[in-house]
């Protein structure tokens, strides 16, 4: 009792648990859908029913999480966990407008957090001077980096949503934001390349796909790289350039000499 009403903290933890479980079901849905896309024989009535069952379970958990996140936001209107949770939950439910709104709101919170930690670090350095230890400085740097990475993830998610909605310039803006934070983000490079191609900027698309192939591992990301290689050849042709991965047909056998 001396701590006061901590109900909102318990609600936040429960909302996060629902969200984590929903993520588990969502990953299973994606895995099954990718399996059916790769192999037409895998698309059986049983597998389609399994996908629908997993989607229903995911959505049930998300609808339980949303009012808990909203309660946390009513308590504190800049609650980063509640804002991020609402953005992700609404997007997963297909309610794009609300999801995009909350996600953009989270980006502003993450940027404010970065500025706040930089200000605290500067104040601490001014107060302590040369007495600042490496561990103390690393603490502030870690907090700034965490906020930057969280912002990056949301930009990447928004870019993917805008691609699905065929809002290619908006998608491009989000992938640009990701690459401003970390220029070596493979997912943003390959996605930005596709957005650029949709906007008719084929040379820029080629450059991004080539950068993606340089950054990714040929063994661990073989399937994704194969798709990227196909995109690269397609975009090179559209840009009036020579494909690099396209296999040429073997020469036709010589006809026997007529007698």
Q: What angle do CA 7, 12, 17 make, to 5 degrees?
A: 125
Whether the pLDDT of residue 1 is over 50: the answer is no
4's CB contacts (< 8 A; 6+ apart) are none
Yes or no: say if 104 and 84 are a contact pair by the CB < 8 Å rule: no
Report the pLDDT value the prediction gives residue 156, as an integer from 0 to 100. 97
Segment 109-135 shows an average pLDDT of 92
Yes or no: say if 115 and 151 are a contact pair by the CB < 8 Å rule: no
What percentage of the chain has pLDDT greater than the value 90? 78
241's CB contacts (< 8 A; 6+ apart) are 206
Q: How far is CA 206 from CA 179, 180, 192, in A?
A: 16, 19, 10
- Lowest average pLDDT, out of 100-104, 127-131, 145-149, 227-231, goes to 127-131
Q: What angle do CA 33, 35, 37 make, to 5 degrees?
A: 70
Q: For residue 196, with 0-12 CB atoms within 10 Å meaning exposed, 13-18 middle and 19 or more buried, which class applies?
A: buried
Q: How far is CA 91 from CA 33, 99, 174, 190, in A?
A: 18, 5, 16, 22
Q: What is the pLDDT of residues 214-245, one digit of tens each?
A: 999 999 999 899 999 999 999 999 999 998 88
Yes or no: say if 81 and 70 are a contact pair by the CB < 8 Å rule: no
Report the pLDDT value the prediction gives residue 154, as an integer from 0 to 100. 96
DSSP state of 252: P
**Cα 220 from chain centroid (whole Å):** 19
Yes or no: say if 199 and 175 are a contact pair by the CB < 8 Å rule: no
Q: In terms of Cα–Cα distance, which of 100, 85, 117 is closest to 13? A: 85
Long-range pairs, 203-207, Cβ under 8 A, ≥24: 203/239, 205/231, 205/235, 205/239, 206/232, 206/235, 206/236, 206/239, 206/241
Tell me the pTM. 0.86
Q: Three-state SS for 185?
A: coil
Whether the pLDDT of residue 251 is over 60: the answer is no
């Amino acid at each position: 009792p001396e701590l006061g009403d901590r109900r909102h903290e318990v609600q936040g933890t429960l909302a996060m648990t629902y969200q984590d479980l929903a993520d588990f079901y969502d990953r299973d849905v994606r895995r099954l859908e990718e399996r059916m896309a790769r192999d037409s024989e895998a698309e059986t009535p049983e597998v389609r029913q399994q996908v629908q069952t997993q989607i229903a379970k995911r959505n049930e958990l998300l609808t339980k999480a949303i009012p808990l996140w909203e309660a946390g936001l009513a308590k504190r209107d800049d609650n980063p966990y509640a804002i991020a949770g609402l953005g992700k939950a609404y997007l997963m439910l297909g309610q794009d407008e609300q999801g995009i709104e909350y996600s953009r709101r989270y980006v502003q919170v993450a940027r404010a957090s970065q500025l706040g930690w930089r200000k605290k670090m500067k104040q601490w350095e001014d107060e302590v001077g040369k007495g600042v230890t490496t561990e103390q400085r690393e603490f502030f740097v870690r907090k700034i980096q965490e906020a930057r990475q969280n912002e990056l993830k949301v930009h990447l998610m928004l870019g993917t949503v805008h691609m699905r909605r065929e809002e290619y310039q908006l998608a491009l803006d989000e992938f640009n934001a990701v690459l401003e934070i970390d220029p070596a983000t493979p997912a943003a490079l390959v996605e930005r390349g596709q957005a650029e191609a949709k906007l008719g900027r084929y040379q820029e698309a080629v450059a991004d796909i080539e950068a993606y192939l340089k950054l990714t591992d040929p063994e661990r990301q073989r399937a994704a790289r194969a798709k990227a290689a196909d995109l690269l050849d397609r975009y090179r042709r559209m840009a009036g350039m020579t494909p690099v991965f396209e296999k040429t047909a073997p020469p036709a056998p010589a006809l026997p000499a007529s007698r």
